[in-house]
Structure 1
Amino acid sequence: MRAFRYLFASALLLFLCLLPAQQARADQARAELVASTGKTDFAYLTPLRNGLSAITLVWSIDRPTQDRITTLTASLSSIVSGGTSSRSPYEISTFLRLKGVRQNISSNGSNLLLTISAPEDVFPETLVHLENLLLKPEYSKGWYARELQEISPENSSKTRRPSDVLDEVSYLLAFEPDDAATVESYGQFRFGRPSQAILRSGDPKVERRATQLINKLPKAKVEWEWPFASWANALTGIEKHPFALPTGTIHFADPNST
């Protein structure tokens, strides 16, 4: 009888430990996928002169309203800092600090940008870290709520601060008006294949590793097309269309870049 009670208690404890992970996977499965439906446009720029390598992932936002950009930014910020299946938030913070990795999230018009830079010698493992962030994110509702509160614009009519007035005006000029005031729930977004990837490394191994990372990310669903159409596009070179990089990703003229 005592052995049975011990086995029952052990099974119950194991179930309770696995419950949060199962809930996190269920939330991730229900989340909206932010991803490109086609191939990612790659741009390879010359390496930075300070010994750093950098990669910028760009996701195009179909409805760039103020609320949507804010919730997307909060969700992406939670993903890059809130832990993975193999690393806690504290371990991620320690890794970034010891390796000299910097992460920056910004929005520009209808684009959401994630830039990660690191010294050249640790950049390959930084790409592995980025892969785990995007494919195996685990963060709590509280973490997402804190990120959302931190980046949400303050109501200038309550704070009476001129800076908050300017923030509200800039949001009105930058984003489309919202049809209704909505608050996105926790676990609303997953980030898959970006529309663009901008790499500054110059190392062929790093370029191959970055391509492998992009190919592992899921694409958004698209209506089925005849295989002949995609074959014809590849044959005629239609898929190789010119594209413009988001404003702010290049800070000086770079004639040697592709």
Structure 2
Amino acid sequence: MRALKKTCIAALLCYNALFTAQSASADLVAVSGEQTFITLKPMANGLSSVTLAWPLARLSAQKLLALRSGLVAVMGAGTEDLSPYEAKSHRSLNGLNFEVTSDGANLMLTATSPTTTFPALIAHLEDVLSTKDFPIERYKRELIRLQPQIVTKNRRPKDVMAVLAHNIALPSEELDEPLENFEFSFGRPKQVIMRSPDTAHKPLVETFLKDLPLRSSGAVAQLWRKLSLVEVATKLNQLEDPDFTLPKGVIHLNDPSSTEMMIVLVQAQTFEDEVAQVSANLLMNYIGAHQGSEMFRIIRQELRAAYNPSSFFETAGKNKALMALSATVAAEEWPELLEQIKEIYENVRMGDISKAGLETVKDRLARRYSHSFATNPVWTAHNLLREYPIKVEGEIRLPVFSAVVEFDVASIIDSPDEHLPLIEDYLVILVGGGAEPSEELRKNGYCALTPSQPLSHCLDVLKGAKP
């Protein structure tokens, strides 16, 4: 009985977030209860910002696409007093900018302007969000524009990373009606993050927030009565973090007409803490993130075999990241160069590291974090909400930021193998021409991809979800 009560209480607490934006046709995206207002240190570039965050509660990829498209469409539309063209001119004249992002847990709108025009930013933000007519045609255009890239066509490793991160974070779902039929309005967010040197701006934002509509508790109660306890428990289970893993094996798209092969080796990694995350980040950057890295030095400068050998470390949640190595090479040379990439990785993993070189990598990462925190409100909001997904308690800290600044590279020089997974654990993605993958390469699993199939098809095949 106690467990049953706990389930009911938990369901009641998070129900609003679960159903904030999951019904079709003119849905109000808003919370009905408590809101968190966070004030951070002003930025160093003369700008002020406010970020509004609405909880997503594990929406599917399709519904997130609809929500993002809807918010972008609303922010690019006109107001009751201004046509879309006039609104665009007003934003340009006053330096008002808007950016819509998401991290799988939140839909975020970040608005920035010079501090002197911040009151105009808030007034315009209120005007746009309170506009009654949903810009349906603009929304349909945004649906097309924001569709995930077809990575087997553009063959850019950065886009491969984005698609994989999207696939891991968000489940797919068959919708009852087309995305084009959805309509949204945007009300009170769950979390608000403000950065401004002018203390008079906080009450201005608070007043604006009070004017945004809340989700009706009556509507929530009506929906609640339609659900059995089992159904609610099912919804609660969906709030748990998805399985942050990628399968082993090879995904291969053969294109006989291509003179190049895109090689991507990628792994989804969960870390024990921020220090472990920073350790892996620094080692991956040392391998291939910059000019002077091992991949750049060997594959580009010595072998002249690729113009873009790179490593990636893309944060995908608290203490989670996608790690990857990539290069686009001549089709006839890809097997040898894949082995060369693996050799570079394994040499670093076994301790072939210059301490001075790693110190340079660490200083560069620390400078990038410091610059991002000082000038980029979107970056800061994403990292802050990963650390405080519900609300802030006590002093605000970004542990991963502190870990980078305070990191001692000597702590990983002697045991880099503790921070990097085996190269055999990486998923290998091959798109282009050249020889077929060898039997040795296929030993952990193999999936042949056709041009009409998304990467997710082969991910399901390698995970055993599809025959």
What's the TM-score once normalised by structure 2's chain length? 0.40
Q: Is the 8 A contact 1:79 1:137 kept in 2?
A: no
CA displacement at 1:156 relative to structure 2: 4.6
8 Å CA contact 2:136, 2:183 repeated in 1? no
Does residue 161 of structure 2 align to residue 161 of structure 1? no
Tell me what 1:55 maps to. 50
1:153 to partner: Cα distance = 1.3
Residue by residue, what CA displacement relative to the aligned partner does 1:160-188 show, whole Å, maximum 9, x if unpaired?
A: 63555544322211212325475323552
Distance 1:160 1:199, change over 3 A: closer
Give the direction of change, closer, same or farther, for the CA distance of 1:119–1:162 in structure 2 (3 Å limit). Answer: closer
CA distance in 1, matches of 2:33, 2:197: 25
1:144 aligns with 2:151: no
Which residue matches 2:120? 125
Deviations 1:21-58 (A, max 9, x none): xxxxxxxxx61011111122000112112211100000
User: How far does residue 110 in structure 1 lie from its aligned partner after superposition?
Assistant: 1.6
Aligned-partner residue type, residue 214 of structure 2: K
The alpha carbon displacement at 1:83 in A equals 1.2
Output the CA distance in 1 between the equivalents of 2:151 and 2:195.
40
Give 1:83's match in structure 2, choosing from 78, 84, 90: 78
1:193 pairs with 2:188: yes
Whether the 8 Å CA contact 1:45–1:198 is kept in 2: the answer is yes
Q: Deviations over 1:62-103 (max 9, x none)?
A: 342101111100000011111111111111211121111221
- The question of 1:40 aligning with 2:175 is answered no
- Count the aligned residue pairs: 206
Conserved in 2, the CA contact under 8 Å of 1:46 and 1:257?
no
Residue in 1 aligned with 2:106?
A: 111
| Counterpart contact for 1:67–1:183, Cα < 8 Å | no
Tell me the equivalent position of 2:322.
none
Secondary structure of residue in 2 paired with 1:72: helix
Write the letter of the residue equivalent to 1:34. Answer: V
Aligned position for 1:70? 65
Distance (whole Å) between structure 2 residues aligned to residue 89 and residue 123 of structure 1:
20
**Equivalent residue, structure 2, for 1:8:** none
Q: Is the counterpart of residue 248 in structure 1 residue 383 in structure 2? A: yes
- SS of the aligned residue for 2:119 comes to helix
Q: Kindly tell me: are residues 160 and 119 of structure 1, through their superposed partners in 2, closer, same or farther at Cα, counting changes over 3 Å?
A: closer
Q: Which of the residues 100, 119, 129 maps onto 1:134?
A: 129
Secondary structure of the equivalent of 2:28?
A: strand
- Structure (1 or 2) with the larger CA radius of gyration: 2
Report if the CA contact (8 A) 1:84-1:138 is conserved.
no
Q: 1:77 to 1:137 in 2, by over 3 A?
A: farther
Once the two structures are superposed, residues 119-144 of structure 1 have per-residue CA deviations (whole angstroms, 9 ceiling, x without a partner) of: 11110111000000111154533211
Tell me what 2:204 maps to: 209
Structure 1 segments unaligned to the other structure (5+ residues): 1-29, 226-243
> What is the one-letter code of the residue matched to 2:99?
N
Q: 2 CA distance for matches of 1:181 and 1:57?
A: 29
Compute the displacement of 1:256 (Å): 8.8
Task: Work out which of the residue numbers 85, 92, 97 in structure 1 matches 2:87.
Answer: 92
Q: Aligned equivalents of 2:52 and 2:162: distance in 1?
A: 25
Structure 1 residues 248 and 138: alpha-carbon distance in aligned structure 2, compared to 1, 3 A threshold: farther
**Counterpart AA for 1:161:** R
2-side partners of 1:139 and 1:59: how far apart? Answer: 18
**Contact persistence 2:74–2:135 (CA under 8 A):** no
Post-superposition offset of 1:206: 1.2
1:122 is paired with a residue whose SS is: helix
Alpha-carbon distance in 2 for matches of 1:56, 1:114: 6
**Corresponding letter in the other structure for 1:49:** A
CA distance in 2, matches of 1:77, 1:211: 23
Q: How has the CA–CA distance of structure 1 residues 96 and 248 changed in structure 2, closer, same or farther, with 3 Å as cutoff?
A: farther
SS in 1 for 2:102: strand
Instruction: Check whether the contact 2:52–2:193 (CA below 8 A) recurs between aligned residues.
Output: yes
Offset of residue 109 of structure 1:
1.8
1:82–1:138 CA contact under 8 A, matched in 2: no
Q: Distance in 2 between matches of 1:118 and 1:144?
A: 25
The percentage of counterpart residues that share the same residue type is 29
- Higher RCO (Cα < 8 Å, 6 or more apart): 1
Unaligned runs of 5+ in 2: 1-24, 222-317, 319-379, 386-393, 398-467
